[in-house]
Structure 1
Amino acid sequence: MSMFQYDFMIRALVGALVVGLAAPALGIYLVQRRMSLIGDGIGHVALTGVGVGLLLDRSPVITAVIVAAAGAVAIELLRERGRTSGDLALAMLFYGGIAGGVMLVGLSKNSSNANLMSYLFGSLITTSSTDLVVIVVLGAGVLAAMLLLRPALFAICHDEEYAKVSGLPVRTLNVLLAVTTAVTVTIAMRTVGLLLVSALMVVPVAAAQQVTRGFRGTMAAAMGLGVLSAGTGVWLAGEANTAAGATIVVLAIAAFLALSVGAATWRVLRRQLPALPRTADVEPPDVVLER
């Protein structure tokens, strides 16, 4: 008997696939900017949004999006103006966000350890039809922004000063990147949980970097690995009765280790083979900044 005959499993699979596709598409820009851990910080702020939603008896997903987006924009403006260091800003996100979230969840009428854990570590099987609609719509928006604005976003991540000189709206793009990070963190909290969401943004990108060259190829490979990890993780979690979020992340890390070992082995073998002609490493035209 297939587990996907149940509606809640189908919703879980669709939600996981959407997040598995959108998270690495955004994560590659965060990795490029050396901001791989910002997803963790915003995840903690999103927990405060969850607490606000439960306290006011509103949709926790919507309130989490609003609060996380506000926190992400505030951190981006602080970073831009140089009033506080990046690590200090992230520390404030980590500690203030999770403290506020736990306190507000405790004050709500729906307070319970199980309720809190479902947001911290994910609970795919409890994804409602309304949650799924929000996940699909917001996930599609994030994915569209990352793909359509790829040349401009690549430019600000690679060299922000050059992007300013070239006339790009750097501040607007930075704020957009911050907001889409907050949105991705929020929609992923049902899939892998707020404490593991950063892994789904970063690990597929790190795995793809082991075997690809160029920004576009890495992005495509990372998205493929994200979808594969998410889909396989949901199926394996259903078969083995394990936590879906943790299973997805473990599979992504396993893919990273396998590709790392494979790439290292290939480099060793290649040094022992006769020299082969090599092509120059040039970025594809669509990610080269043009006026």
Structure 2
Amino acid sequence: MGEMIDKLSLYFSYPFVRYALIVGLLIALCSSLLGVTLVLKRFSFIGDGLSHVAFGAMSLAAVLPVMIKDIAAGISSSGDVPEGARTIADALSKVSNNYIVLPITLLAAVLLLRPGKNAKIKGDAAVAMISVGALAIGYMLMNRFPTSSNISGDVCSTLFGSTSILTLKEDDVRLCLIMAVVVILIFVLFYNKIFAVTFDENFSKATGVKADGYNLLIAIVTALIIVLAMNLVGSLLISALIIFPSLSAMRVFKSFRSVIICSAVISVICAAVGILASILLSTPVGSTIVTADIAVFFVFYITGKITKRA
């Protein structure tokens, strides 16, 4: 026990580990807030589709400096990279990837859930088309314009999070903090409207609530959460971070407010346990957090069964 405490003390003496814990807990909190709404409205697949879009956007952001240099060298008659292209590429390499991933993911959310009945491709077909296309394009870009000799490692890190949460830059931390505050404020300010749209969308429309607009707001906030969670669990495990705490809380509690509070507590605790366990056991951060969420789900599932029988 003493060795574990000494190891944690050593790790938390480094600022990047403290940043990882703070950002991880904020991401877990934001994910749990809208998780209940997404599950009840059967929007879970939207989160999964947008996470694939975020993978494609992250791949584009990672290879963009290399792509600019290669294209500029190909156009140049001498075969060398022009100074202007090199300057642009170097500037982009210093910018946080989130500044590129965020607008692309938000645009995808708007396209998928914008109001309108005249769309030629709707629902799950549109989600499947965009998500699969983003995955394919992202992987193709990473192979065509590799940023390192370990392409498989880069892809695995983007898909499953790996140690990217421990390599956050100050800009990443600052952007995560701003987006987390925005998500929490949106949820608090529009709580009653989100509640109404979640449980009875038709009645909400009849009473004058702009349900389509709030559905779009939910999609935009979901996109923000996904961009936040990319660094924590990777694009393939984001849905688990959103869904499992909500499903766990629903096994025991029935009221909307109680489920949200319990989901937030579960998500934050699992994130903290997952990050600490990954440090001690040298396991991937994202997979460890999701494993903790799965374990808690089974505990709440059994508790719910026992409570009903009692």
1:50 counterpart residue number: 58
1:17-28 alignment, distance < 5 Å: 17-28=25-36
Matched, 1:262 2:303: yes
C-alpha contact 1:72 1:178 (8 A) present in aligned 2: yes
Q: Distance in 2 between matches of 1:257 and 1:176?
A: 32
Letter in 2 for 1:118: S
Letter in 1 for 2:108: G
Matched with 1:153 is: 194
Matches of 2:111 and 2:220, distance apart in 1:
10
TM-score by length of 1: 0.87
Q: For the Cα contact (< 8 Å) 1:42–1:185, is it kept in 2?
A: yes
Alignment of 1:191-206 (within 5 A): 191-206=232-247
Equivalent residues of 1:45, 1:93 under 8 A apart: yes
Q: Which runs of 5+ in 1 are unaligned?
A: 271-291
The aligned counterpart of 1:288 is none
Aligned to 1:34: 42
Determine which of 74, 81, 94 is the counterpart of 2:131: 94
CA RMSD between the two structures? 1.7
CA distance in 2, matches of 1:241, 1:232: 13
1:117 paired with 2:156, answer yes
Alignment match, 2:168: 127
Q: For 1:205 and 1:176, locate their aligned partners in 2 and report how far apart those are by CA, in whole Å.
A: 20
Could you tell me which amino acid in structure 1 is paired with residue 155 of structure 2?
Answer: L
Which residue pairs with 1:137 in the alignment?
Answer: 178
**Between Structure 1 and Structure 2, which shows a larger proportion of helix residues?**
2
Structure with max Cα Rg: 2
- State the shift of 1:81 in Å: 4.8
Q: Distance in 2 between matches of 1:30 and 1:262?
A: 23
Structure 2 partner of 1:278: none
Q: CA deviation at 1:82?
A: 5.9
Matched, 1:184 2:192: no
Partner of 2:264: 223
Aligned partners of 2:54 and 2:101 also within 8 Å = yes
SS at match of 1:46: helix
- Distance in 1, matches of 2:112 and 2:264, equals 27
Shift of residue 46 of structure 1?
0.8
Q: TM-score normalised to the size of structure 2?
A: 0.82
Residues in 2 aligned to 1:64 and 1:135: alpha-carbon distance in whole angstroms: 13
Query: What corresponds to 1:286 in structure 2?
Result: none
| AA of the residue aligned to 1:25 | L
Supply the distance in 1 between the matched residues of 2:303 and 2:292 (Cα, whole angstroms).
Answer: 16
